[in-house]
Each structure stands twice: as structure tokens, then as C-alpha cells.
A and B are shown apart, each in its own frame.
Chain A
Amino acid sequence: MELIKIQVTVNGSKEILEVPPNLSLLNMLRENLTLTGTKSGCEAGECGACTVLLEGEPVNSCMVLAVECSGLSVETIEGLSQEEPMKKLQKAFMDLNAIQCGFCTPGMLISAFALLRRNPDPSDEEIKIALLGNLCRCTGYERIISAVKKAARR
């Protein structure tokens, strides 16, 4: 398959890559850049485990082609871990045991991060809607919602 040259800013650093046209952003991050904090759960845009920020907005990276991201900026859990309100969110998730197996956690944190950036004081209902696309099989969500609320109020 013919490779296409793209330039993507990932976590602030410019990456020049040659990728096949059918490569997803998810696989570009995981395979080409070894950023394995972004998880693959369904590759159909249904579980949210692969959520990253594309131009600051949360997307399911399995549903975006790498070539679509040329010239754009992508942020993953590895990059966002240095920023607020991510640090507050991480602390709240740790304090409240809002984590069990941890596989959905990076995607969950990124959806919550995007919410707090656009709405620093969300209601329970707004949190639930913002996280609706992030499936978690372990926690029952309650602690996750509490953690987002706690991070917002810090």
C-alpha cells in the first residue's frame, strides 16, 4: 500500500510519519509512536477507551484516520499528565479509588478533562452525559463521577 507523508503535532512535539491511508489515529499512536497509554477496546467508536484530544476536542481515535490529522494537534494521556486540570483529575481518581482494572481510565480521564476545560463546574447530569461514551465494566461509574466533581471543585 502506498504510504502518505503526514506531519502531526503529538503532545506538543512535531512528528513526521509515513503512514498507509487506512491507518487509524489509534494505531498511529500505539504502533508508530509507542504511545500505549491510549487503549484499544472495540475499534468501532463504541467504548471510548481510545479517546484522545484532536485539536482540543475528545475523539475516538479508532474512528479517525491518521492522514486526517496531518497539520493538526493530538494530545494523549502521556502528554496531558503534566497539565491542569488533568493533575487534579488524576489525584481525585486516585483518592476516591475511581479505578479498578484501569483499562478505561486514560480515555475516561481525557473525556473528563475535555469537559472541565469547557465547563469548570459541571453538574452530575453534565458529567454523566460527557462520560456516556466511555464504557467501564468494573467500577459502576459512581466513583468516577464523584472524582470528576471533586477535581472540578479543587
Chain B
Amino acid sequence: MKVNPNIPDLIGANVQRVDVQEKVTGAAVFTDDVQFGRNLLFARIKRSPHPHAIIKSIDTSKAEKLPGVKAVATGADFPNRNGLYLKDKHIFARDRVRFVGEPVAGIAAVSEEIAESALDLIEVEYEILPAVFHPIDAIKPDAPLIHPDLGKYEVANFIFPKPGTNISNHFKIRKGNPDKIWAACTAVVNRKYYIPHIQHVPIETHVAVAKVDRTGKVTLWSSSQSPFAQRDLIAKVLGMSPSNVRVIANYVGGGFGCKAGVTMEALPVALALKVIGHPVKLRLTREEEFYTNFVRQALAIELKIGCDKNGNILALENTMYWDGGASTEYGVNITRAGGYSCTGPYDIPHVKADSYCVYTNNTIGGPYRGFGMSELHTGIEQCVDELAEAIGMDKVEFRMLNAVQDGDILATGMIMHPTGIKECIEKAAHAVEWGKPSEPCPPNKRRGKGIALMWKAPAMPPNPGSSATIKLNEDGTILLGVGGQEIGQGAFTVAAQIAAASLGVPVESIRVVGPVDTDYSPYEWQTVASRLTWSMGNAVKAAALDTRRQIFEIVSKAWSEDIKDLTIINGLVISKASEREIPLKDFAVYGIPNKDFEGWVGGPIYGRGSFMPNYVTGLDKDTGQGERAVVHYTTGAQAFEIEIDLDSGKIEIIHAVSAFDVGRAINPDLVRAQMEGGIVQGISSALFEQMIFKDGQMQNPNFVDYRIATTVDLPKRIDSIIVEVPQDDGPWGARGVGEHPMVPTIAAIANAIYDAVGIRMEGPPFTAEKIFTHLKMKGS
């Protein structure tokens, strides 16, 4: 039921996904499904077996002679450095290797087997260097220096590396003076946590196919969340113009951040440059996907937080050491995002935060659904729980008291916009019957409830743009062009809904044009940061309004009517004044004939729209203060009821509840689908997942030893609650919610574990074994 007459019926409608017919029949084309014919070559990569070593020599002569080998590439051929915010790595390692799995050389051959055999014929001589695997070890003065040339690297103006150390970014917040406040606090909680590396695990591994034609133009087919950023980065590292690189990105078989930017996609391009005319395919094995792909970087976090006797949080000191890995990609910006969001969704007057991105000899840290927020909130939300307990206040009441609200001055000095976080807290708490004892369970089991809040802003450069195009077909149907990617979240469906609602046509008449192709699709910065519904949505709406304007100009001229009297309903242009009507298909391409066919009005209709936020300001290097750090924050809460088996330590999730403020749910069912998928991914990260390293070598790069949630791990009940406090510059108020549903999960489960059995752990995963051991140590 519509309460607001200004909101079209399609906004808030559970429209069926536009991509499902293809996806249930096996017809949907993913990158590995694209056919390239008999000229296709297959690439394999020689990788470093050492976490840190000097490359003394590389001899590829034997590999080159193997029959079937068509190209060999090494770092000698590609001197430029690559990187999104800090250019600190090469396509292939040149002077030294910095993690196990770093590409050293590439082979393109007529078959994968031959390429693989050729790898064994490449001889690399290394001089092993001391390595470091923990960010706190890596900041010690005597730690091995991983990037001695750090001071020479090109870097974005909001990232602050410290040459001569392993610190690739140091972001600071100085607001008020916590040191003067601690004495006034009734309770202070001081804690350290370590949140380990986890992997994204899309079911489709990374795959890219590159071809270079005789004009020198590069075409890259890749499973990508950011075809435009990929085009730009690859062009730069090769010293080419972006217009000489074309990226075609089919459906993505799961991204979660790992298919943003450039991970492995430059490797087949490098090989393709040596075999003009041959497409070269590189597809990561599952093992490579685990140990060479960007990881969710580990976080060592130290927190000190205090409140007065009434429960008002007064001060926070937050020191974060992010394990950026051997080089940085998004890691330096995750560090920044962790810094400016360091308080969690709380109003805290005195804040000191230091967020360090630290080079180690682990796999490179990248963006993972939540961009640092899960890791950060895992610490904050457990401390908040402890603080409430310390002053004897109910944990929900404590959060209601301190939760951020409209008008609060945030840690960066930005003023908070209206947010529905308190409604989220109330609804999540109510759903798990907060305060009411759990139902009795068997004597060897204990039940507990936990809650955690979250906030997250899209972490982006200040000026990420979106654009969209609308083309009317002869039959009145519409081709909607977008550069944002369908990675499973439903972006194409939401775009179609926004276009149809803005234009006044049935959603079935809209086809979203795919695959995204940088030569033909409108520009989109990247499909990351939960930004598409908001940013691309605004561009689509603008394109639809531009199209509508063109339609009205044609019709008003043909009918000699005032534009103000025209509207479009269900694909029919209607005049409220004369009650005349004309379907789009009657004039969409060929126009409208004048009376007696004396001339015509109109012509092909092509609408365009773009959107770019223009109000984000820089932050002071020493204090992190600035007028507006981010575009907005999406907030929310999760609450859990769990049951722990004391004999095994195993956790069963009885009830999992999400409540998020999405501003406006364009498609409520798809919003709930994000909440469900996110909370289960969060549960998986809380209970099972950890990349286990030994001297930089991942020990569990497969689905048996690195377990992710399966059907049998589901909560007995999942509730997903939508809260809508509109965003001033979102389409009908919409904000994104793709990442948020896994952000508070680890903390909420940790708090439920404490409620059930009174133990807290240094960090996830809360495996049965770990809980059992802690229970034994506690002596219960």
C-alpha cells in the first residue's frame, strides 16, 4: 500500500529479477563461457615460492623452446608500477618477490597442460630475505623493510605512506582530548582483538582473456566489478591511452570485492602483447584463488573506551594495524575508511584514532564486502557490550542512548544526516525478544542472545561518477545502458525499475544492455561500496527524465500542446488537457507526421544522465577533520540467539535478525535477499573461516580445509527488517545495503557467546574447538 503519492508504484515493488530466466537455464554467459575459437592460447603463471626474496636471475630459455609455448613474459618487459591509490607493484615481480604466489613469469601456450609444464622449465634464482607476517611485528624498527623505495611511489593525495618504514598509510583522527577524559569516566574498557585473513570465495574463480590486434588495441574480457577502473589501470601500467583498451565484462559469478580493480587481469594482457591476434586466457585454479587473490586483510585492533555513570560514552582511543600484505591495492583506503568510521555508529565527543596500513609478506589485502567495517565493528561492538555491563546498564538501552543521530558531530567533524539506527535497534531487539529469558534447553547446552550495531559509508575517492543511457526501440521498448555491473546483487533489476518508474513505462519493456563494455556502455566508476542503487540509480533516473523531456518536446510540438499537460502512463503519452494519447511505439524512432503528412516532428530518442557527488571534502592530514568526509552512512543492527553445546563447543544459530536503514527499498525482496545472503556470509566468517599461514604459505587453500557455510549451517530462523529513513540525494531516498548485512555479524555472535557461556575470545573464527578449549580453560 502506498502512503506517499509522490512515489511511483514501481518503487517499492518486488519486481522479478531481470536476469533469472538466463540464469536458471544455463544461458547466462560468464567470462569463461565466451567462445574464442582455435586461436585461443592458455596462460599459466610462475609464482614465487618465497615470502620475501631478491630475484637474482630468471632463465626462461628452456621454457621458450618447449613445443606449444607461444609466449613467455617476465618483469623485465614491464617496468611500470601499478596500483589504485599507491603504485607499489609490478605486473610481474622485478627485483624482488614479497609474498608466496606473487607472479614472476607467465607462459602462453596452446594448452593449459603445456603452459603448466613450461613453468617447471623456468629457472629462478632467489636470495632469501627475512620476512614478516604480522602488522605489529612489521612496524618494529628492526623489521625487514618490504618496500625500500616507498618514498618514490606515485600516491593519491589522501594516502600518507611513511618512507623508511613498512607503513603504507597512516590515517589520524584527533577530536577533543581523550587523555583528559579518562579520569572522569566511571568505567573504561581496554581490549585487543585480532581478526584474521579470510578469502572472498566467489564460486567463479578469476578469469580474464586478453587479445591485442594489429592496431595495438587491447580487448580484455574479464569477470570484473570495475571494467572502467580496470581499463584505466591496465592502460596506465602499459603506458597506453585508456581509449586503446576495451574491457568487456560479462555476468560476474560472485565478487564480494575481489573482482574490483586489477587483481590478475594485467597478466594475460602482458602475454597477449607478445602474440598479436591470439586471445590469451588466464583462469585461476581454486588453489590460486585462495592464496594469490586479494584477501580480507587481517586487523590487529587496540581499543580503549569509557563512559560516565549514566552510560554516556565520553571517549575512545582506537589503534588499528591493518595487514596490508606485500603491496597495497584498496588496503590503504580501507585503512582510511576504518579511520574515519573508527567510532562505530556512536556519538563520542573525544576521539583519538590511528589507523595504519602495514606492509607484511602476506597476500595482498583488498576490498571485501564491508571494506574494513566487519573487522572494526568486531572490536568496537564487543567493547560497547562490556562497557554497558561494567556500569550495569542493559546493552540495548546503552546502545539506544549512545547511537548516532541526526545533527551529531562525527569523529571527522561531519554532521550526521537523518538515520534510522534507533528504529533498527528496537526492531532487532524486539525480534529476538530481548530481555526475555531463552527457552529452556538440554543440560549440556546453553543459550544466549547478542546484539551489535554497524554503520558504513561508501569508501571512495571524492568524485566517483555514474552515467546511464536510454535508447527507444521501434516497438517502444527501451534499451537501458549502464556501466555498473550485475554481480548478483540485483543492480540491473533495480536500474530497470528506476528507469521504468521515472519514464512511465512497464518494467517489462526495459532491457538492461549487457555485457558491460567500456567501448559502448556509459561510464561507471566501479561496482563497489554499495553505491550503485544510490549513484547509478541517480544517473538512470536522470537519463529517464532526459528521455521524458525529449518525448514531451516531440509530442507537444506535434499536438501543439503545453508540455505541462503531458504525462506518460504505461508507455502511453497522454494529454491531460485534450485527452489525446499516443503509444511510444508510434513515434519512438520515426517521429510523428504533421497533419496531412506535411513534414514530421521528432526522430530517434536517446536519453542520457549522469551523477557525481560534488560535496565531499578532504580531511586534515594530522587531525582527520573536514566538513564532509563521506557521502552518507547506512546504519543497522543485528541480533542473534544461539545455543552452544558444552560437550563439543559447537554453536547452533537459533535466530538471526537483521534490521537496516536503506533509505528507500526500491525492491524490498532484493533488499531482504542481500540481508539474508550477507548474514549467512557473516556467520560463515564468524564460525568457520580463516586463512591459515605458515611462513607466508597458505595451508588450507581448498574447500575441505577452508570451510564456508553450507545448507546445514543455516540459522533455524532468519528475519530481515527494512527501515526507511530517506537519503536526501538518493533516488526516492535510497541508499545501498549490499555490504552492510555482514558487518555486525561477528560481533553480535561474539556477544551472544558471552551471554551464553561467559567467554570472550581474541577473534574469530569461533570454531567448536576454540570454544570448547576456552570453556575448559574457564573451568566449566
Contact = CB atoms under 8 A, between A and B. Distances in A.
A36 B33 contact: yes
B26 A137 contact: no
Interface of A: 34-44, 46-47, 49, 76-78, 81, 89-90, 93-95, 97, 99-106, 109, 127-129, 131-132, 134-145
Contact of A41 (B16, B204, B255, B680): B204
A78 B488 CA distance: 21
Given A93-B20, A102-B251, A81 B25 contact: yes
B712 A94 contact: no
B670 A103 contact: no
Interface stretch (B79-87, B90-98, B703-711, B760-768): B703-711
Contact of A42 (B24, B25, B703): B703
B704 A99 contact: no
Contact of A102 (B205, B256, B488, B709): B488
A99 B204 contact: no
Interface in B652-677: 669-670, 673, 676-677
Interface string B672-687: 0100111111000000
Contacts of B487: 101
Contacts of A131: 711
A47 B703 contact: yes
A49 B33 CA distance: 14
A94 B20 CA distance: 6
A109 B702 CA distance: 23
B253 A39 contact: yes
Contacts of B251: 101-102
Contacts of A135: 203, 703, 708, 710
B710 A34 contact: no
Contacts of B517: none
B229 interface: no
A2 to B, nearest CB: 14
Contacts of B708: 135, 137
A140 B17 contact: no
B624 interface: no
A86 to B, nearest CB: 9
9 contacts: A37-B27, A41-B204, A101-B204, A106-B26, A132-B711, A135-B203, A137-B681, A138-B677, A143-B676
Closest CB pairs A-B (n = 9): A37-B26, A103-B253, A101-B488, A140-B680, A100-B488, A102-B23, A77-B26, A36-B33, A46-B703
B202 interface: yes
A81 B26 contact: yes
A137 B24 contact: no
Contacts of A77: 25-26
B30 to A, nearest CB: 7
B724 interface: no
A138 B200 CA distance: 11
Contacts, number: 157
Interface in B696-724: 702-704, 708-712, 714, 718
Given A77-B25, A102-B19, A103-B30, A43 B285 contact: yes
Contacts of A134: 711
Nearest to A35: B26
A140 B677 CA distance: 4
B354 interface: no
Contact of B714 (A76, A89, A104, A142): A142
A140 B679 contact: yes
Nearest to A80: B26
A132 B17 contact: no
Nearest to A133: B710
Q: Which of B17, B21, B24, B669 has the most CB of A within 10 A?
A: B24
Contacts of A145: 711, 714
B681 A140 contact: yes
B166 interface: no
Interface of B: 16-17, 19-30, 32-33, 35, 200-205, 251-256, 285-286, 487-490, 669-670, 673, 676-681, 702-704, 708-712, 714, 718
A40 B704 CA distance: 17
A132 B21 CA distance: 24
B673 A100 contact: yes
A35 B702 CA distance: 26
B28 to A, nearest CB: 5
Contacts of A39: 30, 203-204, 253
B223 to A, nearest CB: 10
A97 B677 CA distance: 12
Contacts of A81: 24-26
A140 B26 contact: no
B490 A102 contact: no
B203 A132 contact: no
Nearest to A77: B26
A128 B203 contact: no
Contacts of B489: 100
B712 A128 contact: yes
Contacts of A144: 711
A34 B21 CA distance: 20
B254 A103 contact: yes
Given A132-B711, A135-B708, A142-B714, A105 B673 contact: no
Contacts of B718: 140, 142
A38 B26 contact: yes
A136 B203 contact: yes
Contacts of A106: 26
Contact of B677 (A44, A46, A94, A139): A139
A36 B252 contact: no
A93 B678 CA distance: 19
Q: Which of A104, A105, A144, A145 has the most CB of B within 10 A?
A: A105
B422 to A, nearest CB: 26
Given A36-B33, A128-B711, A128-B712, A142 B676 contact: yes
B28 A102 contact: yes
A82 to B, nearest CB: 10
B286 A44 contact: yes
B203 A127 contact: no
Nearest to A128: B711
A98 to B, nearest CB: 9
A127 B704 CA distance: 21
Given A93-B20, A101-B487, A135-B703, 16 more contacts: A35-B26, A38-B26, A93-B24, A94-B16, A97-B670, A99-B17, A99-B20, A99-B24, A99-B488, A101-B251, A128-B712, A129-B711, A135-B710, A137-B681, A138-B488, A140-B678
A123 B253 CA distance: 29
A140 B678 CA distance: 7
A134 to B, nearest CB: 8
A140 B708 CA distance: 11
A145 B718 CA distance: 13
Contacts of A102: 19-20, 22-23, 28, 251, 253, 488
A147 to B, nearest CB: 10
